Every structure is written in C-alpha cells, then in structure tokens.
Amino acid sequence: MVMRKLFIAATLSLATLASASDSGVYSYRAQRSFDNGKFAKGYSQLEKALLASRKESDLLSEGRVLIAMVQIRTMSLDLDLADSLLSIVRESELDDNTKVQLAKTKMALMNARGKFKEAASTCNGTDTKVVKEADENTQAAFFGECAIAKAATRDDAGAQESLKMAGKRSDKKGGFYAFTAARMADLTGNSEADSLYKVALDKAIKANKPYNAATALYYRSMLKTTSKKEAEDLKLRCKNAFELMGLPNNAKRCGK
C-alpha cells in the first residue's frame, strides 16, 4: 500500500494529479521532492503546478494543488500562510475524494494549532457517506487526524474507533499507524507513547523519510518520561535534520 511509504500523509492530494498536463507533471515532481526531504524544491514545483492549473482553467486541479500547499505549510509550521491558502480553496468545485482530503487538511491544521475541539467537530461534521467513497489512503489520513483530535478531547471511544478505521485502511505494520497511536498516547499521558514513537522513528528511518523521522525525534524529546540528557540529544538530532531539509521553523522548535 502507498501508506507504507508515508506515516504523515501530507501530500496525498498529489497522487490524484498525475497526468500529462503541466499541473500534473509539476505535482508529480513535487511529490518526488517531498519524499526525498527536499521541501523548498517541492514547494516551488507546487507553485508552478498552481499556475499551470489556472492556465488550464481546471478548478479541481487547482483545489488539489492548494490543498497540498496547505499540507506542506502546515508541516513546515507556517500556519498563518496555511490558513490563507486554505481560504481560497473552492470547495464547491471539488470531487468527493478531494473534499475528504480538504477535511483532513483542515483537521491537521487545527490539530497543529492545538484546536482539537474544532478538529473533532470537523471530523464529526463530515458526511460519512462521502468519506466511505474516498480512496483508502485518503480515508486513512482522515481517520488518523480524527483519532488525534478525539484523543486530545478525551473522547476515548471515538479516538479508538477512528484509529481502528485508519488501521483498516492502512498497513498496521507501517509507520503511519504507529505514529498516530503514539500521538494519541502522548496527548492522553499514556506511558506507551515513547515506545510507539520509537517504532515510528525506526520505520521512518528504514523507509528513508527524513521529515517523519525528525518529527518523531521532536515528540520523543518532549515527553516527560525522557531524561534531560536524552532529550537534549534528540533535540539536536531533530534540529540538524530539519535545518538540512530547509525547514527553519521546525528546526527552531527543536532547538528550544
């Protein structure tokens, strides 16, 4: 499954853009760049894809590219810019699959801002029939954000159900499932968070996913159960990785 390659499903909307059109070509190149941890290059290619989609007068492709741009800005902690890009997505022009991607993207941004109640509300307010029609990757990413939001708002039953739904649509042995479970444990103070982050980190390293690995390092460093000495080492590794990826906001957060 594609989810074996990603445990933070940031650019799923790009998968549906692969085509012979200019916007499709640039989007494909952007996905390859992000997979290799080349964020500046990938984002530049997304900007070209956005211009191409507008030249093609294709509002669906434009929406997908904008959603991908929001996802990347959320990952790079440029949250205000992510909000501004989100505001210009024309939801009425999206197909059902992309509407679910949009809902997932909104939740990811809310979760990044700590607005877990709003994210949980978005999850609960999304038409279940539409979600069921989305592809498995999109559903897995959607339910993953639902699980995190519901865990943070102490909706334990809802969080576990969402995690179960995410697991059914992804590889439970993959990093995505482990990372989602780790975030849930972390947000609820469960002692299993550290071991789950270690699993996610190991899988990210083996899959050569530098962003995912650095993110796991950051969250491990912030756990109360992590010793001061180990936390300092984890933060240094995290900072170095993000700096080399060209993500200054992430590096700064690790350097605190």
The string of DSSP letters for 178-199 reads HHHHHHHHHHTT-TTHHHHHHH
List, for residues 181-233, the tens digit of each pLDDT value.
Answer: 999 999 999 999 999 999 999 998 988 888 989 999 999 999 999 999 999 99
Report the domain count for the chain: 1
Report pLDDT for 13: 52
- pTM for this prediction: 0.90
Whole-Å CA distances, 49 to 12, 28, 106? 15, 9, 21
Q: For residue 34, what pLDDT band results from cuts at 50, 70 and 90?
A: confident
Longest CA pairwise span in the chain (Å): 55
Q: Alpha-carbon distance 144 to 184, whole Å?
A: 10
Share of the chain above pLDDT 90, in %: 77
**Domain range enclosing 171:** 2-254
Average pLDDT value for residue range 44-55: 95
Report pLDDT for 252: 96
CATH number assigned to the domain comprising residue 234: 1.25.40
Q: Alpha-carbon distance 117 to 154, whole Å?
A: 10
Report pLDDT for 176: 87
CB atoms within 10 A of CB 61: 26
List, for residues 137-195, the tens digit of each pLDDT value.
Answer: 999 999 999 999 999 999 999 999 999 999 898 876 768 899 999 999 999 999 999 99
Q: For residue 21, what pLDDT band results from cuts at 50, 70 and 90?
A: confident
Structure tokens, 201? 């980190």
Report pLDDT for 11: 41
Question: Who's near 164: CB < 8 A, 6+ residues apart?
Answer: none
Q: Is pLDDT above 70 for 256?
A: no
Report pLDDT for 5: 36
Averaged pLDDT of the chain: 90
Q: For residue 6, what pLDDT band results from cuts at 50, 70 and 90?
A: very low
User: 256 versus 126: which is more confidently predicted?
Assistant: 126
